[in-house]
Chain A
Amino acid sequence: MGRLVWIRLQRAIPALWLVLSVIFLMSRSLPPTRIAADESRLSAAPAAAQAQAETRYQERLGLNLPLFYLRVAPLRWYGLDNQYHRWLQALVQGNLGRSYRDERPVTVLLAEALRMTFPLTALAFVAAAVSAVFMTLEMAVRPVMRRWVLLLLHLLEALPLFLVGTLLLLLLANPDALALFPAYGMGYNNPDTGVSLTQLAYLFLPVVCLVLAALPALVIPLDAALQQNWQQPYLVTARAKGLSVRQAWWRHAFPNALLPLLTRLTDMVPTLVGGAVVVELLFALPGAGRLLLDAAASRDYPVLLGGVLLTALVRLLAWLAADVLYAVVDPRLRTAA
C-alpha cells in the first residue's frame, strides 16, 4: 500500500509542479500593467516621477528581475536570481506570496475562505454519498420509479450547474414564487466562528445545488453495477434462501458495489471544489471558489495560483485516500499492491 501511495505521489507531484509553473510563467510573461495611468495623483506628476514610481513598484513586487533562468532563441543565461526561482523557493517553504489587491498573505486568505467552503462541500459530499446509496436501493426495490429517476438523472447530468442553480433560485428563493429559503449570503456572519447552526438555512440551497450536480455521477454507475450483480449466482442464492431485496442488497450487493462507488466518490471531491466556484457566486458565499473567481477576474495572480494549488492538492489527497480505502475495503488488493 505504501508503494502504491509512493507511485501516486511520484506521478502527481511533477504534474502539479508543471501546471503551476506554466500558469506562473504565463501570468508573469504578460506585459506589465501601468500603475500610473489611472491614478490621478500620479498622472499629474512629471513623466520622470511617473517612471520612477513605476520602477519602485516593479522592484517591490520583484517584477524587474528576469522571468526565468534562461531565454532561448538567442540563448541567454540569467542565473538563479530570477522571478521563477524566487517564487519556487517561496512555494517550497510554504509561502504563497501576498495578494496584489490588499497585500494580505495568500495562505491567510485561503484559510479564511476555506472556513466557508469546507462546511459547504463536506455537507454536500456526505449528503450526496448517503442519498446516492439510499436512492439506488429504492430504485432496486421499485422498478417503475427507477425508469423515471434514471431519466431525471440523465437530464440533470447534462445540464450545466449554473443553470440548475439559477432555476433553484428562481423557484425556491423568489418572492414571486416560493420564498422558502434565503437566497443570498450567510446572514450575520461572524468571521471568527465560521458556520454556525443558525446559518444552516443559508447553506441549504447551495448544498442541494451541489448534491444535484454530483448525484448522477454516483447513482447511474452504482445502479448499473447493481443491475449487473442482480443476475449473479450469489445474489440469486441470497434471494432464493429467502432474503428480501433490501436484505440482499445491504448484506451482499452493497459490499461488492462499494469499490466503484469509492472511485466515484473520490473523483467527486475536486468536482465539488470546482462546482463551488459557480455555487458560491450564485448564492453570494465568501468561500474559496469565490476567492478564486475574484482573483481571476482582477488578475490577482498570487491568489489565483494559491487557489489552483489548493484544488490540485485536494485532488491529490482524494486519489491517495482512494488508494488507501481500496486496500481497506478490498483485502484482495492488499497483497497485489
Chain B
Amino acid sequence: MKHHSQYFWLRYAALTWLLLLLAAAAAAHWMPLPWAAGQLDLQYIATAPGGTHYLGTDPYGRDVLAELLAGAFGILTISLPAALLATTIGVALGIGAGFWGNHGVRHQLTDWLSLAIPFCAWLVTGSVVPTAVAAAVGGGSCWVARQIGTQLRVSLPLADAVVALMLLLNSVPRMILLLAISSVWVQGPLSLIILLALTGWPGTARIARAEALRTVSLPFVESARAVGLSNWRILIKHILLPAWPVLRSLFPLNLSLCLTLQTTLSFLGLGVSVDTADWGRLLASSRLEPGAWWLIAFPGGVLAATILALRFGFASPPNR
C-alpha cells in the first residue's frame, strides 16, 4: 500500500513539473523578465547568481534564466512535434505491417498500373499536360482491361518494406546519423523536426508491429472477420484500441529521446543554429568557464528533471 501512495506522489510531482514547464515555455516571450534571451550584458560576464541576474550569466553575458525559458520554448517547438510525428509514423507503419503483413494489401494489377503510368510519365517529362494525358489514357485502358476480365491481383509487401526501412535506419547509430545529416541538411527548426521524426520511429514501429501481430491471431479478431466487419474497422477497433495503452506510453519515451538528442546536438554545436537558445548550449558554455557551477546546475537540473519526469511520470507502477 505504501508503495502505491509513494508512486502516486512521484507521478503527481512529475506531471506538475511538466505542466509548469509547458506554461513557462508557452509564456517565454511574454514574461516580464529584466533580460531578454540572447541579450548580451557585457558588464556581467559569467557572473554568479545574484540581484541583477537571478540565475547568473554565461561567458557571453547572457542571462541564464532567460536562456532557460527560451530553451524550454525551443523544446516545445522542436522536440514535442518531432516526438508526436515519430510516434505517429511508428504506430502507423508498425500496426500496418503487423496487420496486413506481406499479403494483406492486395489490389488488381490494373489498379496499380493506373497509378504507375501517370507517375512514370511525370518522371520522364516533368510537366503537367503529358502526365494528365497518360493518366487518362492509362486509366482508360486499365478500365477496359478490367471490364474484359483481366484478373491478376498483386500484393504490396508492406511488412518486408517496413522491416527493411528499420534495418536501414539501424545500420548506423542514431547519433551519428543525426550528426551527419544535420551538417548536410539542417537549416531550420522544421528540418530538425523532420530529421528527428524520420530517424526516431523504428523503436515505436517495432513494438506496434509486435502488438498487432499478437492481437491479429486472437479469437475476437477472427470473429470480427467472420461477422464481416471491414478491414479498417477491425484495424481501428480491434487492433489499435487494445494496443493503445502500450503505444500511448511510448510517446513520453520518444519525447525524452528527442529531447536528449536535441540538447546533445546543440551541446555539440550543431542543432538548429548556434544562436538559438538551448539547454545543451548553455551546458556547453560551462566548458569555457570551469568554475561556473550555475551554468551546469540550473540547465542540468532542469534537463534532468524533465527527462526523469517524462521517463518515470507516465510509467505504469512496477509490479514487484
- Would you call A240 an interface residue if the criterion is a C-beta within 8 Å of the partner chain's C-beta atoms? no
Residues in chain B near residue A308, CB distance under 8 A:
172, 176-177, 180
Alpha-carbon gap, A271 to B174, bound state (A) = 9
- Would you call A4 an interface residue if the criterion is a C-beta within 8 Å of the partner chain's C-beta atoms? no
Cβ contact within 8 Å between A183 and B290: yes
In the complex with contacts A75-B124, A160-B263, A166-B296, A277-B175 CB distance below 8 A = yes
- Would you call A23 an interface residue if the criterion is a C-beta within 8 Å of the partner chain's C-beta atoms? yes
- Would you call B286 an interface residue if the criterion is a C-beta within 8 Å of the partner chain's C-beta atoms? yes
Most A CB contacts (10 A, CB to CB) among B179, B182, B311 go to B179
Cβ contact within 8 Å between A15 and B168: yes
- Would you call B181 an interface residue if the criterion is a C-beta within 8 Å of the partner chain's C-beta atoms? yes
Residues in chain B near residue A161, CB distance under 8 A:
264
Partner of A270, one of B127, B173, B280, B312: B173
Known contacts A174-B290, A176-B293, A275-B175, then 7 further A-B pairs from the complex at CB < 8 Å, ordered by chain A residue:
A19-B172, A166-B283, A174-B291, A176-B291, A278-B264, A293-B269, A311-B176
Residues in chain A near residue B291, CB distance under 8 A:
174-176
23 pairs, CB–CB < 8 Å, chain A vs chain B: A16-B171, A72-B124, A74-B125, A74-B126, A74-B127, A75-B123, A154-B312, A158-B307, A160-B260, A160-B303, A162-B264, A162-B267, A163-B304, A166-B296, A170-B286, A176-B291, A270-B173, A277-B175, A278-B264, A278-B268, A308-B176, A311-B172, A315-B171
- Would you call B184 an interface residue if the criterion is a C-beta within 8 Å of the partner chain's C-beta atoms? yes
- Would you call A124 an interface residue if the criterion is a C-beta within 8 Å of the partner chain's C-beta atoms? no
The residues in A between 23 and 80 inclusive whose CB is less than 8 angstroms from any CB of B are 23, 26-27, 30, 72-75
Cβ contact within 8 Å between B182 and A296: yes
* Complex: chain B residue closest to A20, CB-CB: B172
Contact with A along B291-316 (1 / 0, CB 8 A): 10100100010011001100110000
Residues in chain A near residue B126, CB distance under 8 A:
72-75
Interface of chain A, helix or strand or loop or mixed?
Answer: helix
- Would you call A316 an interface residue if the criterion is a C-beta within 8 Å of the partner chain's C-beta atoms? yes
- Would you call A91 an interface residue if the criterion is a C-beta within 8 Å of the partner chain's C-beta atoms? no
Interface of chain B, helix or strand or loop or mixed?
Answer: helix
- A313 CB to closest chain B CB (Å) equals 10
Q: Which 8 A-B pairs have the closest CB atoms?
A: A73-B126, A296-B183, A74-B126, A274-B173, A274-B175, A15-B171, A75-B124, A72-B123
Partner of A19, one of B168, B296, B312: B168
- Would you call A11 an interface residue if the criterion is a C-beta within 8 Å of the partner chain's C-beta atoms? yes
- A91 CB to closest chain B CB (Å) equals 16
The residues in B between 120 and 137 inclusive whose CB is less than 8 angstroms from any CB of A are 122-127
The residues in B between 267 and 294 inclusive whose CB is less than 8 angstroms from any CB of A are 267-270, 280, 283-284, 286-287, 290-291, 293
Cβ contact within 8 Å between B168 and A271: no
Residues in chain A near residue B268, CB distance under 8 A:
162, 277-278, 281, 293
Cβ contact within 8 Å between A167 and B296: yes
Partner of B264, one of A160, A169, A307: A160
* A residues lining the B interface (CB < 8 Å): 11-12, 15-16, 18-19, 23, 26-27, 30, 72-75, 154-155, 158-163, 166-167, 169-170, 174-176, 183, 270-271, 273-275, 277-278, 281-282, 292-293, 295-297, 299, 301, 304-305, 307-308, 311-312, 315-316
* Complex: chain B residue closest to A275, CB-CB: B175
Alpha-carbon gap, A12 to B168, bound state (A) = 8
Alpha-carbon gap, A19 to B198, bound state (A) = 13
Residues in chain B near residue A23, CB distance under 8 A:
180-181, 184
Residues in chain A near residue B42, CB distance under 8 A:
none
- A17 CB to closest chain B CB (Å) equals 10
- A296 CB to closest chain B CB (Å) equals 4
* Complex: chain B residue closest to A314, CB-CB: B173
* Complex: chain B residue closest to A13, CB-CB: B171
Cβ contact within 8 Å between A274 and B280: no
Residues in chain B near residue A30, CB distance under 8 A:
184
Cβ contact within 8 Å between A15 and B269: no
Alpha-carbon gap, A305 to B184, bound state (A) = 11
* Complex: chain A residue closest to B179, CB-CB: A296
Cβ contact within 8 Å between B283 and A18: no
In the complex with contacts A162-B280, A167-B296, A316-B171, A73-B123 CB distance below 8 A = yes
Residues in chain B near residue A169, CB distance under 8 A:
290
In the complex with contacts A18-B168, A174-B290, A74-B124 CB distance below 8 A = yes
- Would you call B167 an interface residue if the criterion is a C-beta within 8 Å of the partner chain's C-beta atoms? yes
- B310 CB to closest chain A CB (Å) equals 8
* Complex: chain A residue closest to B263, CB-CB: A160
Alpha-carbon gap, A69 to B105, bound state (A) = 33
* Complex: chain B residue closest to A312, CB-CB: B172
Partner of B304, one of A16, A159, A282, A292: A159
Cβ contact within 8 Å between B127 and A26: no
Alpha-carbon gap, A167 to B308, bound state (A) = 17
Alpha-carbon gap, A162 to B303, bound state (A) = 11
Alpha-carbon gap, A161 to B183, bound state (A) = 21
* Complex: chain B residue closest to A15, CB-CB: B171
- Would you call B232 an interface residue if the criterion is a C-beta within 8 Å of the partner chain's C-beta atoms? no
Cβ contact within 8 Å between A160 and B270: no
Partner of B308, one of A158, A270, A292, A311: A158
Partner of A277, one of B176, B303, B312: B176
Alpha-carbon gap, A211 to B181, bound state (A) = 27
The residues in B between 209 and 243 inclusive whose CB is less than 8 angstroms from any CB of A are none
Most B CB contacts (10 A, CB to CB) among A75, A162, A278 go to A162
Alpha-carbon gap, A80 to B218, bound state (A) = 54
Alpha-carbon gap, A195 to B216, bound state (A) = 56
In the complex with contacts A158-B256, A160-B263, A162-B283, A312-B183 CB distance below 8 A = no
